[in-house]
Amino acid sequence: MLVGVQGVTKQFTTLDTVITAVDEVSLEIEVGSIVALTGASGSGKSTLLHLLGALDIPDAGTITVTGGPDGDQDLTKLNRKQLAAYRRGIGFVFQQFNLLPTLTVIDNVTVPLIPLGKPSAQARDRARQLLADVGLPDRDHTLATRLSGGQQQRVAIARALINQPRLVLADEPTGNLDSTTASQIIDLLLGLRDTHGTTLVIATHDPDFAARCDRSITIRDGRIHTDTPTR
């Protein structure tokens, strides 16, 4: 097992209500698996991904990570510095790509390295290799905003891989793409297990995408509704 979620709850308090976005969820993500999270908008997929990536901390329950670079960890017990180190070991891919528009393609890929100091020549070489891996060679010095949506998502995937993550979390990564481009990005993401040895958890509205993952979990009102192997 890579990540174990035990009885995790996350609530958001707004002006007049408390929303339980994730409601006593327990699940295990196996090393090397590709897991789809599906469910209606507002069901809690993004919140669950944020909890897995330590972008947010649960109100109750535990999230245990086994065999990481820092050994076995309970995310709910880490201090800020440990959390930052954990996050650096996760690759994030978002629906809106979230590239920095004033930076070139290669500088976007090395952005996650900035907290560790100026990216080294080796790091830039690795970024160049990753851009080739995601099917975007020879675009290193193009401004990110000049790319198509599909190309921007390829850059975002290269960026997600720069710290050699064991786990990649993707939040509706094809939600902003036309179907032809989406299918190319799906192939690329599903291939990362073989090409880069990553475990993947992918929130998606696309049933065909979910069916191509190893396992499909549907979320309803913050709870796991179904959890089925797809093959």
What backbone phi and psi angles, to 5 degrees, belong to 194? Answer: -80, -40
Which token pair is 228? 């089925």
- CB closer to Mg ion out of 131 and 219: 219
- CB closer to ligand ADP out of 188 and 219: 219
The stretch near ligand ADP (CB under 6 A) out of 13-21, 81-89, 93-101, 150-158 is 13-21
Residues 39-98 within binding reach of ligand ADP (CB under 6 A): 39, 41-47
Q: How far apart are CA 27 and CA 127, in angstroms?
A: 33
Which token pair is 167? 């786990």
- Asked if 174 interacts with Mg ion (CB under 5 A), we say no
- Asked if 228 interacts with ligand ADP (CB under 6 A), we say no
Going from the C-alpha of 37 to that of each of 47, 48, 169, 184, 217, the distances in angstroms are: 11, 9, 11, 20, 5
Element (H, E) at 103: none
Going from the C-alpha of 91 to that of each of 6, 24, 168, 216, 220, the distances in angstroms are: 22, 25, 4, 20, 25
The stretch near Mg ion (CB under 5 A) out of 44-52, 76-84, 128-136, 210-218 is 44-52
- CB closer to Mg ion out of 55 and 85: 55
- CB closer to Mg ion out of 105 and 182: 182
Residues engaged in binding Mg ion (CB under 5 A): 46
Residues engaged in binding ligand ADP (CB under 6 A): 12, 14, 19, 21, 39, 41-47
